[in-house]
Each structure stands twice: as structure tokens, then as C-alpha cells.
């Protein structure tokens, strides 16, 4: 099992994707340990000095002017956990929970939160023992941090709530004892530090971004296969066209399409018999998918920063012995990243369905009607296109921006919120729908290529052979479900990407994401 060291500074997207996709262990680096200790000392010094300090010896939010007696400060921190643990809805998945827990550890490890080292070490131990807090998905508006879902992490650390242990739901106190771990008694600022932060919305947004990136790669590959199936022209993919526009994603997608179609017999037929101009779903793939790639790259940059960000409040600055209240818990960057990801997911599926519709339309594609050898007796891909259209409509409905839908809370004290968690939570379901659309197009594209009877390029032939190893020709009607399920697994599992990625590697062997 891999071990990932959590340090101060940026831990990087590769680390976060590994944590999401694999079981790993974590350890605190020396710099993180030193930073945590320094910040905690600053909080202790401030307490010794006396006077009101938000989040340490005052109430929270609208009650921040209320100074709490010193003897009640521990109770204050416990109470903020208890009252915020009011989540509802289905729990986060194990992968999402690991990612959120690891990012909360990384945020505290930056040394600006003021918690004890022992508290962070307990979180690391829980992660490494796979004691995963049960975190309901509903209850956060994405401002003042993801208070409610993060409270369910904190709840388990004080011995309440439930965790997953060996696949079962177990009371937290029992699970901690089983691993020889002790619940913490919260000290000044610790309850608030655990609750303030964007780790839940960021974990969900990252999950969506990781899955969307793989779906994007699959969409480009399947688009190339469809281009071959309809004898589409690759002239619109010529590099000079895209260089003069200067959009990096567009340049990269065109390059991939050229590499994926290089050397096939379809190219010769296209030159001799192809259309002067293809419909936009073929001709404008670099422009549409390139714009999606640019958005996904922007999302990666935003979320990579946010994953290691200090997003609690107040923030401790040990170098000057200051504790300053601000608004880093507001998840607007994450909300925008989630909304942008949703737009890209929606457009990837929209163009896929249009290519599918093209293949079924004999007047445009030149292929048999609905890709069947005996239209009328057989309906071929008629209903498959209807199903894809329904799924495109569903993703369109889900792609409405969540970030514009602020609902004020805490008697208008927290009067603008991000709704980042809402925006991020929909993404995995949207990608699932996108993968289903792509799976239908994959089956149709392979069928179209079989009707043409020409030799594909090496990577596309390998993909076609993979499909045909599990799915026979579909030119005669039979139960569609098993074929669809096989194709869906191929797309979702990344098998297509594993086959075709080599075709678009740069000369230096590095995969380009523009």
C-alpha cells in the first residue's frame, strides 16, 4: 500500500487522485508537524494574554460578541460540533470520505489553524485504520465552511456518531477502542477549526473532476471512431486551423483526433467520396471539446489550490503571533469550479448524442437507416438514440449553476453563501449519465465502421476489437441491454483510454492535457 506524506504547501493533484482511487496510508511530514505545533503555541499564548478572540473564547457567527467564561471554553467547542451535526441524505462514499478527511488533515497541516498535533494525529490514525466517519451529503450551503458535514467528522473524533469499519456501520467510540485510539476532548478553537473549511465540497468537486476528465478522454476517442464511421473529413482537424485561433484545448483535441485517425483506409475513402463539409458534430469537435478541456484544466488548477488551502476561521499566523478573522471558508471558488465542470459534462454528452443521431440518419450519414440491415422489421439504434436524448436532457437540467442560488442564513449575518456542496454533489451522477450516452455512441460507431468494411487505425481497431470481443454485430435486432452494459463498463472503467492514450502522447512521452 502506498504512503503519501502530507506536507505544508501544495500536495498536488496526483496525490489527491491517488487518495480517491486507491487505498493508501498517510503520514505527517516534519514541516507539517512543526507548523501545527507553532500555530497551537500561538493560540495558547493568546489565551494566556486574555481578552476576547473570535472562535477561541467567543460565540460563533451572529453570537460572536458573546464572550465565553474560561471554564466553559471546552464545552463551547464541543457544543459547536454537536449542534452542527444535523446532516441528512445518503452518506458520502468511502472514496469521497477518504478524500475529504485527507484534505482536512492537509489544511490543518499548513500550520494556520491552531489545533493540537494530537488532534491531527488522531485524524491520520483514523484514515490509516480506514475508520471512515459517516457523513450525510445534505446540510451545507458552502459558506462558513461545510459546517454540517464536517461536524460529522468531528463528532466521531469525540467518540460520538458512526464510522464504517470493515464494511459495517459501528458507533465511533466502539470503533476507536477497537483500534486502541482514544476520543479527543476539544480545546480552544479546535471544534471550530474542524468545522470551518471547504473540504467536503472540494472533495466532491474533485471527484467529479477526476471522473469528468476520464469521460472527456473517452468522448474524444469515440468521436474519432464516429468520424471514421460516417467517412468524415479530417481536414478540419488540420493544425494550422487551430493554431490561428490560439485556443490551447482546441489545438490539443485536434491533435488527438489526427493521431487517432492516422493511417486508416477511411481516410482514402473520405478524400474520394466524403462530404465537402461535415455537420458541426463532426467538424467542430476540436472547438467544442477543446473548450471543455480548457474548462477542465481551469477546474483542476482551482481545486488543486483549494485542496491544500487554509479555509477555516480565524486564521493563525505564528510568525507574528496574530489570530485574524476572515472569510476563507466561503466556497465560491469551489462553487464556480463545480458549475464549470457541470457545463463541460453537459456539452460532452450533447455532442455525443448529435453524432449518434447523425449515424442513424441515412440521409446524412449514407449508412443504413438506424444502422440496421433490414429497416422496418428491425429498428436498430432508433430507441437507443431516444434514450441518449433523454439523458442529454437530464444533464442539461442538472447543469444549471448552483452558485447563483444563494439563500441567506444565520439571521442574515451570513447573507451570501456559495452552494458549492450542491453544485459539486451532482457531478458524479452527471458523469455516470455522460458515460451511458458515450456507451451508446460507442456501439453505434463500431456498427457504422463495420458497415463501411474498411481498416481502422491501430488504436481504433484495437478498440473496435475490444467491443466485438464482447458484443456481436447489432445490425439485426436483439435485446439491447447486455450490449449496452458491456459498452458502459468499457467506457466507465477507462479501458478505451488505456488503449488509445498512446496515440496522443507527445514526442517526449508525456501525456498532454493542453
Task: Tell me the three state secondary structure of residue 397.
Answer: helix
Instruction: Please compute, for residue 101, the number of CA atoms within 13 A of its CA located in the half-sphere on the CB side.
Output: 35
In 159-184, which positions are buried (b, 16+ CB within 10 angstroms) versus exposed (e)? bbbbbbbeeeebebbebbeeeebeeb
d(CA 124, CA 141): 27
d(CA 239, CA 244): 9
d(CA 42, CA 45): 5
Strand-pairing partners, residue 316, are: 323
Cell of 196: 470551518
* Per annotation, catalytic residue among 54, 280, 289, 413: 54
Instruction: Please compute, for residue 16, the number of CA atoms within 13 A of its CA located in the half-sphere on the CB side.
Output: 31
SS (H, E, C) 271-286: HHHCCCCCCHHHHCHH
Beta strands in 1-142 (DSSP E): 3-6, 25-28, 88-91, 132-133, 136-138
d(CA 398, CA 403): 13
Residues 6+ apart with CB under 8 A from 68: 57, 58, 59, 76
Cell of 427: 457531478
d(CA 88, CA 95): 19
Q: Is 280 a catalytic residue?
A: no
DSSP 8-state class, residue 504: G
Write the CA distances from 133 to 99, 160, 179, 188, 279, integer angstroms: 12, 10, 14, 23, 51
d(CA 149, CA 132): 13
> What does the DSSP assignment read for 408-457?
-BTTTTB-----HHHHHHTHHHHHHHHHHHHHHHHHHHHHHHHHHT-PPP
DSSP 8-state class, residue 501: G
User: Helices in 237-326 by DSSP H: which ranges?
Assistant: 239-243, 248-261, 265-273, 280-283, 285-307
- Give me the residue label for grid cell 436483439: 478
Interstrand relation of 25-28 and 3-6 (parallel, antiparallel or unpaired): parallel
The residues that are catalytic are 54
Amino acid at each position: 500500500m502506498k504512503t503519501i506524506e502530507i506536507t505544508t504547501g501544495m500536495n498536488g493533484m496526483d496525490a489527491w487522485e491517488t487518495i480517491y482511487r486507491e487505498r493508501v496510508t498517510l503520514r505527517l511530514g516534519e514541516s507539517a508537524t512543526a507548523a501545527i505545533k507553532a500555530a497551537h503555541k500561538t493560540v495558547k499564548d493568546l489565551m494566556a494574554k486574555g481578552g476576547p478572540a473570535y472562535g477561541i473564547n467567543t460565540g460563533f457567527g451572529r453570537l460572536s460578541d458573546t464572550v465565553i467564561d474560561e471554564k466553559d471554553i471546552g464545552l463551547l467547542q464541543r457544543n459547536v460540533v454537536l449542534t452542527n451535526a444535523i446532516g441528512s441524505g445518503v452518506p458520502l462514499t468511502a472514496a469521497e470520505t477518504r478524500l475529504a478527511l485527507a484534505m482536512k488533515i492537509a489544511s490543518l497541516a499548513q500550520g494556520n489553524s491552531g489545533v493540537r498535533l494530537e488532534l491531527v494525529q488522531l485524524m491520520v490514525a483514523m484514515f490509516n485504520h480506514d475508520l471512515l466517519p459517516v457523513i450525510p451529503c445534505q446540510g451545507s450551503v458552502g459558506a462558513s465552511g461545510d459546517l454540517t458535514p464536517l461536524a460529522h467528522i468531528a463528532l466521531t473524533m469525540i467518540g460520538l456518531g458512526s464510522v464504517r469499519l470493515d464494511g459495517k456501520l459501528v458507533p465511533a467510540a466502539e470503533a476507536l477502542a477497537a483500534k486502541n485510539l482514544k476520543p479527543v476532548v476539544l480545546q480552544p478553537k479546535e471544534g471550530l477549526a474542524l468545522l470551518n473549511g471547504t473540504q467536503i465540497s472540494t472533495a466532491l468537486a474533485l471527484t467529479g473532476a477526476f471522473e469528468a476528465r476520464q469521460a472527456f478522454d473517452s468522448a474524444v476517442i469515440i468521436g474519432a471512431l464516429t468520424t471514421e464511421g460516417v467517412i468524415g473529413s479530417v481536414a478540419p482537424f488540420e493544425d494550422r486551423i487551430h493554431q490561428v485561433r490560439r485556443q490551447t484545448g482546441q489545438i490539443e483535441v485536434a491533435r488527438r483526433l489526427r493521431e487517432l485517425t492516422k493511417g486508416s483506409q477511411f481516410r482514402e475513402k473520405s478524400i474520394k467520396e466524403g462530404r465537402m463539409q461535415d455537420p458541426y458534430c463532426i467538424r467542430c469537435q476540436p472547438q467544442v471539446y477543446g473548450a471543455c478541456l480548457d474548462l477542465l484544466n481551469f477546474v483542476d488548477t482551482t481545486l488543486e489550490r483549494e485542496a491544500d488551502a487554509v479555509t477555516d476561521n480565524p486564521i493563525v499566523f505564528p510568525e507574528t503571533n496574530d489570530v485574524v478573522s476572515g472569510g476563507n471558508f466561503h466556497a465560491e471558488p469551489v462553487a464556480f469550479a463545480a458549475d464549470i465542470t457541470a457545463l463541460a459534462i453537459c456539452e460532452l454528452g450533447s455532442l455525443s448524442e448529435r453524432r449518434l443521431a447523425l449515424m442513424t440518419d441515412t440521409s446524412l450519414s449514407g449508412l443504413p437507416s438506424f444502422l440496421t440491415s433490414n429497416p422496418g422489421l428491425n429498428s436498430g439504434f432508433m430507441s437507443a438514440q431516444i434514450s441518449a436524448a433523454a439523458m442529454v436532457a437530464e444533464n442539461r437540467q442538472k447543469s444549471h449553476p448552483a452558485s447563483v442560488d444563494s439563500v441567506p442564513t444565520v439571521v442574515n449575518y451570513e447573507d451570501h453563501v456559495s452552494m458549492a456542496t450542491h453544485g459539486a454533489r451532482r457531478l458524479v451522477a452527471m458523469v455516470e449519465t455522460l458515460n451511458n450516452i458515450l456507451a451508446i455512441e460507442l456501439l453505434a460507431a463500431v456498427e457504422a465502421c463495420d458497415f463501411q468494411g474498411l481498416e481502422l487505425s491501430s488504436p481504433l481497431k484495437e478498440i473496435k476489437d475490444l467491443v466485438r470481443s464482447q458484443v456481436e454485430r447489432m445490425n439485426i435486432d436483439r435485446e439491447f441491454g447486455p450490449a449496452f452494459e458491456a459498452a458502459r463498463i468499457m467506457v466507465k472503467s477507462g479501458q478505451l483510454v488505456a488503449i488509445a492514450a498512446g496515440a496522443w502522447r507527445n514526442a517526449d512521452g508525456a501525456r498532454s492535457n493542453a
